Structure 1
């Protein structure tokens, strides 16, 4: 019995050392691009359970302009870029705008994944911007938040050039991008996230949030992030430390932490994967208490990357347009 206890204690010690080693590696960005999440890898995985799923590739509308690879800020010694899609026709006062934020576990994915959505939004009367941001392989939290706040400021600084209404900007994101879209919106008054010295004379506030399957709280009973028993979770890589080591940091990056009377109207679009909207119900309860308009729509049979695929792309677009038209018509 004593020998068994000693062996078990030894294994516990070894496991603890391994986890500590993994956590240490998580704190050091690799600078190597992670290509594990692409639309094609996600499509192949989704088709294992539903072979009828197809990649959403709608025809590019003839009524829009586009400008790609536009530098919007410099960070980590390089220029961050974005793409802009906007209606050809001018509109008095400008068009409402949407910043689209890609997913990929804060370490993979790229802005091209939501170009089809951006193009269709532009055809529906929006200025749509897809922006890159620093991933955890390059820089840990809060770098991504700083970048996206800078992207919003760039949008306002170039409002006249792209026929954009600077008083009507929404953050829209999928998965990790959804988490970031919600965080960008709920931290409108948190100046600590405006530390990048780009277009500092403009506001980074947004007037609406669209969260597509992005978690709202990292430390939450519904959240799967931070479980590093088998491998380091995506969030642990992003934060550079485990949630037990720095729980305050994990709460700081949770949109639920900041919900208050001035939180923007919010649309939640969700798949059948419950852990991808951890904290959503709590946030909706708080929004109701503050009498803030919000909607939730769930696609019960959809896989997590549903906005990239048919048959969910079109209803995702429709829900987004209807929600934004509704909340922006009040302003």
Structure 2
């Protein structure tokens, strides 16, 4: 599996705005996944998704795992700016990477799940996350796969306050602008969400409320509840929850992107 490390997706801050590319040598299925790591927007690393990305490469996907500016360096909306630029990079380079730019999913865990979801919910020409190098107005993925995502900012959690850099009481519009559940519209792409039922950081009830609102708006949203699973289980392919997750996401993307079973290399 060829891997290209630390590929700059932006000319400004080129050493920070980087991603790793994981490329299938054969059996490409014409689809791609952009992975975004979690860590409360304050820690974490793009290499956390290495094993998951490698597994999807074996099944024909072009995969990328991105680095973004953490809240300790630059708070909201810096990470969203970076996510939009990374998606733009993937779409611009789709032909040379070997996938259809209309078949790319965003995927993320926890705070990275938030960024993956927000990518899907920021409308074309929306100023949120725009920077000088963002020339592609529509940076929405075609499908979304999330692990234990942050779906609302309207909760009292320290990591959210550090990300937003101001309390909600002082900036309610900023919180509405940045909260995924407040951005749902009828043209949202399909979502699948892998969620532990013992998660105290992003509780199952919050995730289900988000999914229900997506469905009410006319989108497809599937929540896979994992019994006995806590927060932050996503980085791997060995546990029962991890295996169920990658298999569920694979089936979801095969269906949404109309991928041929014959093009998939299975273990």
Per the normalisation by structure 1, the TM-score is: 0.72
Q: CA deviation at 1:213?
A: 0.5
Total equivalences in the alignment: 255
Q: Give the structure 2 partner of residue 240 of structure 1.
A: 165
Contact 1:99–1:130 (Cα < 8 Å) also in 2: yes
CA distance in 2, matches of 1:324, 1:245: 40
**Which residues in structure 2 correspond to 1:62-101 (within 5 Å)?**
64-75=1-12, 78-89=15-26, 91=28, 95-101=30-36
What secondary structure is seen at the aligned counterpart in 1 of 2:23?
A: strand
Q: Which runs of 5+ in 1 are unaligned?
A: 1-63, 226-232
Q: Deviations over 1:9-47 (max 9, x none)?
A: xxxxxxxxxxxxxxxxxxxxxxxxxxxxxxxxxxxxxxx
Q: Which of 38, 43, 49 is matched with 1:108 structurally?
A: 43
1:125 matched to which residue of 2?
60
Distance verdict in 2 for CA 1:199–1:290, change over 3 Å: closer
C-alpha displacement at 1:291, in angstroms? Answer: 2.9
Residue of structure 2 aligned with 1:273, choices 199, 202, 215: 199
- TM-score (norm. length: structure 2): 0.88
Which runs of 5 or more residues in structure 2 are unaligned? 260-267
CA contact (8 A) 1:156 1:202 kept: no
Please give the alpha-carbon distance, in whole angstroms, between the structure 2 residues aligned to 1:254 and 1:190: 18
Contact residue 260 and residue 290 of structure 1 kept, 8 A: yes
Match of 1:319 among 233, 241, 248: 248
**CA positional deviation for 1:202:** 6.9
Distance 1:239 1:206, change over 3 A: same
Q: Aligned partners of 1:70, 1:249: CA distance in 2, in Å?
A: 32
Q: Kindly indicate whether the alpha-carbon contact (under 8 Å) linking 2:148 and 2:202 is maintained by their aligned counterparts in 1.
A: yes
Of 187, 194, 202, the residue aligned with 1:262 is: 187
Give the secondary-structure state (helix, strand or coil) at the position aligned to 1:192. Answer: coil
Instruction: Establish whether residue 292 from structure 1 lines up as the match of residue 219 from structure 2.
Output: yes
Partners of 2:235 and 2:60 lie apart in 1 by 21
Matches within 5 A, 1:137-148: 137-148=72-83
Q: 1:296 to 1:201 in 2, by over 3 A?
A: closer
The CA RMSD measured in Å over matched residues stands at: 2.0
* Cα drift, residue 76 of structure 1: 5.2
Counterpart check, 1:181 vs 2:116: yes
**What SS does the aligned partner of 1:95 have?**
coil
Q: 306-315 vs 111-120, which deviates more?
A: 306-315
Report the structure number with the largest CA radius of gyration.
Answer: 1
Q: Could you tell me how far apart the structure 1 residues matched to 2:13 and 2:7 are? A: 17
Q: For 1:207-243, what per-residue CA distance to the aligned partner results, in whole angstroms no more than 9, with x for missing partners?
A: 1111210121111xxx442xxxxxxx11111111112
